[in-house]
Amino acid sequence: MTKRLKIAIQSKGRLAEESLDLLQACGIKFRRSKDKLFWYGENFPLDVIRLRDDDIPQVMNAGVCELGIVGENVAAEVRYELEKLGKSVEFELLEALGFGRCRLSIAAPEGGVFETLASLNGKTIATSYPYILSAFLKDNDVQANVVELKGSVEIAPSLGVADAIADLVSTGSTLVAHRLAELDVMLQSEAGLYQSMCEKTVEQQELIDRLLLRIRGYQSAQASKYVMLHAPKNKIDAITAILPGVETPTLMNLEHDEERVALHAVCKEGVFWGHLEELKEAGASAILVLPVEKMLG
């Protein structure tokens, strides 16, 4: 009976560091194998296998790893590919992780003749995501030739390889640098924790639940702030209403002050400067906002 879990994460690239940081933020300490391909959890039975991101859905599909962290774009591409080949998809999203945000967009040379999706009928589009692109074109009734390129997709139009591209965009600066304009967004993406649908032991399922609880705790702690302030007693309700994501604050008496109390609360949503200004206007003073390190339950 296997009592350990295996998780596949990207070995190097845009998701590598944050994937590992997330596992470490869950309190897991790792010992590295000599080749650094495997990392063994020392205080939690979770072992990390480091791969190219494109291979992560596959190892979950084959049941080699119970878990994986990969962009939704890669997971979707592999899912479409497996479906097209008539193979079963054996992985599913457990939790969106909020990093590696990007979108998969269609773009064409700026100021050119292609300004709508329909204008790409009969044209050639280069991409590293042929299955997502083909499905998108089909849904939108556009007949275009899809050319698969593994990298440097953005230079395809200037090389004369394609009329347009479908590629990942985050800030859009790469598109601007190559004088390309975005025509349409096919998919919004962020990194996700996926699980293999392969059979798991009871112990493994319990470990996944524990890990997920820690990940969710870490995520809500990151978004949360601990706010302390002084509030006039007759303004407590108005001040509480301004605090984002607070149900019941803690109130404490202030020595030698009959008019005011100390109010402490965990804000479960972002606290911004605008909130602080509103609090001050509502009569709050001595406002302190502190980060929350860990949170459970």
Binding residues vs ligand ATP (CB under 6 A): 10, 13-15, 52-54, 71, 73-74, 100, 102, 168, 170, 189
CB of residue 288 vs Zn ion: minimum separation in angstroms?
Answer: 44
Which region, judged by CB under 5 A, interacts with Zn ion, from 16-24, 51-59, 79-87, 211-219? 51-59
Q: What count of other Cβ atoms lies within 10 Å of the Cβ of residue 132? A: 21
End-to-end CA distance of the chain: 30
CA angle 17, 292, 226 (to 5 degrees): 150
Cα dist from 234 to 182, 230, 259, whole Å: 53, 12, 8
Q: How far is the CB of 79 from ligand ATP (least distance, A)?
A: 14
> Closest CB to ligand ATP among 53 and 66?
53
Which CB sits closer to Zn ion, 53 or 163? 53
Between 151 and 160, whose beta carbon lies closer to Zn ion? Answer: 151
Nearer to ligand ATP, 75 or 227 (CB): 75
Report in angstroms the alpha-carbon separations of 152 from 79, 95, 116, 161, 285.
23, 30, 23, 12, 55
Place of tokens 């080699």: 64
Among 49, 53, 193, 227, binds Zn ion (CB under 5 A): 53
Which of Zn ion, ligand ATP, none is residue 130 near (CB under 5 to 8 Å by kind)? Answer: none
Min dist CB 16 to Zn ion, Å, is 11
Contact partner at residue 196 from Zn ion, ligand ATP, none, CB < 5 to 8 Å by partner kind:
none
| Residue 73 interacts with, from Zn ion, ligand ATP, none (CB under 5-8 Å by kind) | ligand ATP
Question: H helices of 140-183, where?
Answer: 156-159, 173-177
Residues 6+ positions from 143 with CB-CB distance below 8 Å: 121, 122, 137
Partner from Zn ion, ligand ATP, none binding residue 264, C-beta < 5-8 Å depending on class: none
The distance of closest approach from Cβ of residue 168 to ligand ATP in the complex, given in angstroms and rounded to an integer, is 4
List the one residue out of 63, 57, 58, 54 whose CA is nearest residue 6: 63
Report the residue from 18, 47, 54, 90 that binds Zn ion according to the rule CB under 5 A. 54
Residue 100, contacted partner among ligand ATP, Zn ion, none, CB below 5-8 A by kind: ligand ATP
φ, ψ dihedrals at 259, nearest 5°: -85, -25
Helix (H, G, I), strand (E, B) or coil at 143: coil
Helical (H) or strand (E) element with 76 = helix 72-84
Shortest distance, position 54 Cβ to Zn ion, whole Å: 4
Residues that bind Zn ion (CB under 5 A): 53-54
